Structure 1
Amino acid sequence: MTDVPEFCRLDRRKRAIIDAARSLFVEQGFERTTLGEIVERAGGSLATVYKVFGNKDGLLEAVVFEKAASGELIIQHAFAQGGSPSEVLHRVAQGLRTHFLDPEVVALVRIVISRSVQDVDFARNFFERTAKRDHASLKTLFAYWQDLGIPMTGTPDMLSDMFLDLFFSDVHTDAISHGAGLDPSPERLRTRIDFFIRGAGLETEQVPQASA
C-alpha cells in the first residue's frame, strides 16, 4: 500500500510535470517539445511521466483540460452573486473574456486546433469537457429566468449558443491571427453584451426571485 508521504511526493511531481509541460508547449509548441525537455525542467524522470500520463499525448490532455478548462464555474460563480439578468450576463462576460483570452489559453487552443485534425477522439473529448459544459451551464441560467416569467426573445438553447459565440469567435481569431486586428477592450465587450441583452429582450432591471 502506498503510504501518504509517497503519495504526496508523486502528486508534487505530477504538478511539476504538468506545469513544465504547459510552459514548454506554449513556448515551443507541442510537436517541437520533447519529453526529455519536460523532465529536465520539471525534475524527476521519464519513468514518472510514463507511469502517470502514459505518453506525451496523455500529458497534453492533462495540460489542456486543466488550463483550457470549462467556463462552467465562471458562469455559476457569476450567477451566485445575484443581480438582474443584465448584471449577471455582464459578469459572466467579463469572466469568460479573461479566461478565453488568457495568452496561455489561446496558445493551447492553437495546439488543440492542430491536434483535432489528427485525433478525432481528442477533439470530441475537448468539446465535451469545455464548450458543451459551458453551453449547458448557460442554458440552465436562461431556463431559470424563463421559468421565473422573465420574457426573452429566444429559447435558452439558442441564446446560449449566441452568447458563447461572442467569445469563441474571439479566441479562434486570436489563435489564428496572433491578435492582429482584434480589439479586446472592455468597451467593445460591454457594447457587444449590451447588444445581445437588447436582442434577447433581457433589459429588465428586475432581480429574479424564485417562488417560496
Structure 2
Amino acid sequence: MKLAEYECGRLEKRRDAIIAAARDLFIENGYERTTLGQVVERSGGSLATIYKLFENKDGLLSAVVFESAASSELLIKKAVAGSSDPATVLHRLARDLRDSFLSNDVLALVRVVIARSVSDVDFARKFYEKTASTTRASLQDLFEHWQREGHTMSSTPFVLIETFLSMFLGDTHKEAITHGAAPQLSPEELDARTDLFLRGAGLL
C-alpha cells in the first residue's frame, strides 16, 4: 500500500471516530454544552484534526447530521431491493423510516438541530440542503422510475414525495417535542395510513 493511501485511510478512520464521539456527546449534553475538547478526549483525536476536517463545531454537527441522512438513503435502497411493486416498496419503507426516525438517538439529534436552527438561520439552511434534500432526491428518482414503468399517479412525484415524507417528519417532530407523551400509531395503523397514501396517490 502506498503511503498516500495509508494516510488517507488513517484520516478516514479518525474522521469516523470523531463523528461517532461528537454524535454521542451532542445526544448526551446537547450542542451548547458539548466542547471540542470533550470530542477530542473521547475520540482520541486532536483539535488540529477537527479543524482540518470540519472547520468548527458547526461543521462537526453538520457532519453528524449528514451521516444520519445518509442512512435514510440506505433505507430507500433496501426497500427497493427485491421488489418493484410500489405498494410493497412503500409499505416496507414506511416501517423502516418510522423505526429510524423515532429511534432515541435520532430524536435526540432532532432536538439538537431544532434548537440550533432557532439561533442560526444559516445552519438551518445548510441542514436542509445536506439532509432533507438528499432523501427527497432519492425518492424523486424512485417515483420517476415508477412513472416511466407506466404507473399512473394522481399528482406529480414532487407533491407525492412531500406528502409521504410529511407523515414521518410530523411523527418525528411531535415525538421530539412531547418526549413520548403523544400517542403513537400501532403497526396496523401505520399500514392503514400507508394504504391511505397509496390510494390517494393512485398507486393502489
TM range (shorter): 0.7 to 0.9
1:101 aligns with 102
Deviation, 1:186, is 2.0
2:70 aligned counterpart, secondary structure: coil
Cα distance in 1, alignment partners of residues 168 and 43 from structure 2? 33
1:18 aligns with 19
| Matched-pair contact (CA < 8 Å) for 2:65–2:131 | no
Distance change (3 Å), C-alpha of 1:10 and 1:137: closer
Cα distance in 1, alignment partners of residues 116 and 3 from structure 2? 36
| Matched-pair contact (CA < 8 Å) for 2:25–2:39 | yes
2:188 aligns with 187
Matches within 5 A, 1:138-153: 138-153=139-154
1:165 aligns with 166
Cα distance in 1, alignment partners of residues 8 and 158 from structure 2? 43
1:76 aligns with 77
2:155 aligns with 154
Moved more, 185-194 or 72-81: 72-81
Cα distance in 2, alignment partners of residues 173 and 191 from structure 1? 20
In terms of fraction of residues, the more helix-rich structure is: 2
Deviation, 1:157, is 1.8
1:52 aligned counterpart, secondary structure: helix
Cα distance in 1, alignment partners of residues 48 and 146 from structure 2? 52
| Matched-pair contact (CA < 8 Å) for 1:163–1:196 | yes
Cα distance in 1, alignment partners of residues 71 and 9 from structure 2? 27
Cα distance in 2, alignment partners of residues 6 and 137 from structure 1? 32
Matches within 5 A, 1:1-212: 3-69=4-70, 71-203=72-204
Moved more, 9-18 or 155-164: 9-18
Normalised by the size of structure 1, how large is the TM-score? 0.84
Larger-gyration structure (1/2): 1
Aligned-CA RMSD value: 2.2
Deviation, 1:23, is 0.4
Moved more, 183-192 or 100-109: 183-192
2:77 aligned counterpart, secondary structure: helix
Summarize deviations over 1:77-108 as a string: whole Å, max 9, x none. Answer: 32232242211111121221222122211111
Cα distance in 2, alignment partners of residues 47 and 7 from structure 1? 16
Cα distance in 1, alignment partners of residues 181 and 135 from structure 2? 27
- In the alignment, structure 1 segments of 5+ residues that lack a partner are 204-212
Normalised by the size of structure 2, how large is the TM-score? 0.87
Cα distance in 1, alignment partners of residues 157 and 7 from structure 2? 48
How many percent identity over aligned positions? 57
Number of aligned residue pairs: 203
1:69 aligned counterpart, secondary structure: helix
Summarize deviations over 1:157-211 as a string: whole Å, max 9, x none. Answer: 21111111111101111111112113153222112101111222222xxxxxxxx
Deviation, 1:30, is 0.7
Cα distance in 2, alignment partners of residues 201 and 173 from structure 1? 28
| Matched-pair contact (CA < 8 Å) for 2:17–2:43 | yes
Cα distance in 1, alignment partners of residues 147 and 10 from structure 2? 49
Deviation, 1:3, is 4.0
